[in-house]
Structure 1
């Protein structure tokens, strides 16, 4: 397989993960300020499976598609107004979160233990940046922002981090075994 074919394959997989994030975003549990969604699980999966470069690119593509008006954000929302609204900080935070998870795994090793560490730290990155944005965008006090944008997501976030780590490493190993995914050394 040529380098061009490998890159094309990775671009297709990257686009597929952007679509998976959009589909998982529609799995929601409504809360007063910010819903619990499946998109954070999908972000963890993308970064755990694809690594820093392609995992981050899949998230950037997802944000661009949503900003362009395709309803891929939670609750079938789309547009720049969502990105500048109260939940926009969470959407933007997915980019450094995906990068960190992939980077951490590339610098250590793609094991379930390391993936769990990376995904839990990634969850904290998302919650921290999202909560700061929520405070500013919704004109909330720090207490209100923390109570509505951080605290309700800790337990669910840990569960999603466990799932993303376990499923992500399992799928990554199977894709590599089937020669369908580039490893970091050949990327």
Structure 2
């Protein structure tokens, strides 16, 4: 994939936004509340599948090499064994799904559908990873209800709000940015 300077700049912008979204975090048990998913959704909607994923890959690489860009200012290779790392992997899939579904059709109904599916993708990857690390690596006992209680249910209302904000922002930004992104 050949990238223009413009592609690199806007991709870096969404990498930075995701990092800032992670640093602004509210601890809520083992999974903090952050603004990251807002920027992941916007990366897919505005950048499309390839650049959206690239922005999230870059974000994860920056964190894994030790920059404190993950939730609460953490980073480093040890993050892989954090119960929350699965949500970061989910960001890759969500950016791709949202971008792929809206690349050719940015109607409101298509955007809403893509955002719902992308947001669910984060949970589908993040929650089982949380369970796996929590039980197998950390050696703690937790059942399905406990996993949902810690890694899913408290976050759904906030994620609905963030997804709604992303949809509203995308509907305003996409027409204005289309001349720069195409």
> What TM-score comes out, normalization by structure 1 length?
0.88
For the 8 Å contact 1:18–1:62, the answer to whether it is kept is yes
CA contact (8 A) 1:66 1:78 kept: yes
Instruction: Identify unmatched segments of 5+ residues in structure 1.
Output: 183-187
Q: What are the equivalent positions in structure 2 for 1:90-105 lying under 5 Å apart?
A: 90-105=87-102
Give the counterpart of 2:7 among 5, 10, 14: 10
Structure 2: state its 5+ residue gaps: 136-141
| Residues 128 and 150, structure 1, Cα contact 8 Å, conserved in 2 | no
Q: How many residues align?
A: 175
Alpha-carbon deviation of 1:30? 1.3
- How far apart, CA to CA, are the structure 2 residues paired with 1:112 and 1:157? 18
Structure-1 residue corresponding to 2:180: 180
Paired with 1:36 and 1:127, the residues of 2 have a C-alpha distance of: 14
Match of 1:37 among 13, 25, 34: 34
Distance, in Å, in 2 between the alignment partners of 1:161 and 1:83 is: 26
Relative distance call for 1:75 and 1:49 in structure 2 (3 A) is: same
Cα distance in 2, alignment partners of residues 142 and 96 from structure 1: 23
Please, what is the CA RMSD of the aligned residues? 1.4
TM-score of the superposed pair, with normalisation by structure 2:
0.91
1:115, CA displacement in angstroms? Answer: 1.5
Q: Which residue of 2 aligns with 1:185?
A: none
What do the CA deviations read for 1:15-41 (whole angstroms, capped 9, x no partner)? 111011101112222101201110011
